[in-house]
Amino acid sequence: MSHASVSESSAPAPRADSERPADRSSRSAGSLLQALTMPLVLAAFATYLLLGMLMMEVPDSVDFPGPRFFPAIITGVIYVLVVVEVINIFRHWSSGSLVPPTTPLPPPSRGVRSSG
């Protein structure tokens, strides 16, 4: 028996992406909205920082970097991370590989008491 025939017979043939069955739960709007929740929260926080930074009254005598420098860096980094994450989420959602939400943990049993 040759080496090629062993590897062909033991490994199943990979299926093409077009042959993969569509998973309706990973393409639903609910899973997309759930995946976009954290980027939306981060974008709202970055907008809050941006508005606070723009409305900040800074005297003319302040030298560089000044009090707007650190919030500007943080705001820019958050916006970049939000854009990257949203692109990643839409790529996974359009391909149908968005991870479905995890199942919630069961409630603790009543017989166990917490020490405290």
Residue 108 has pLDDT above 80, yes or no: no
Check residue 38 and give its pLDDT: 96
Residue 110 lies in a domain: no
Residue 6 lies in a domain: no
Q: How far apart are the C-alpha atoms of 105 and 31, rounded to whole Å?
A: 19
Residue 32, in any domain of the structure: yes
Residue 43 within any structural domain of the chain: yes
Residue 79: half-sphere exposure toward Cβ, Cα within 13 Å: 11
User: With contact defined as beta carbons under 8 Å apart, do 36 and 89 qualify?
Assistant: yes
Domain count, the chain: 1
Residue 105, φ and ψ in degrees, nearest 5: -70, 145
Please state the rounded mean pLDDT for residues 59-83: 94
Contact (CB, 8 A) for 101 and 33:
no
User: 32, 98 in Cβ contact below 8 A?
Assistant: yes
The whole-model pTM stands at 0.62
* 87 occurs within a structural domain: yes
Q: Which domain holds residue 45?
A: 24-56+66-98
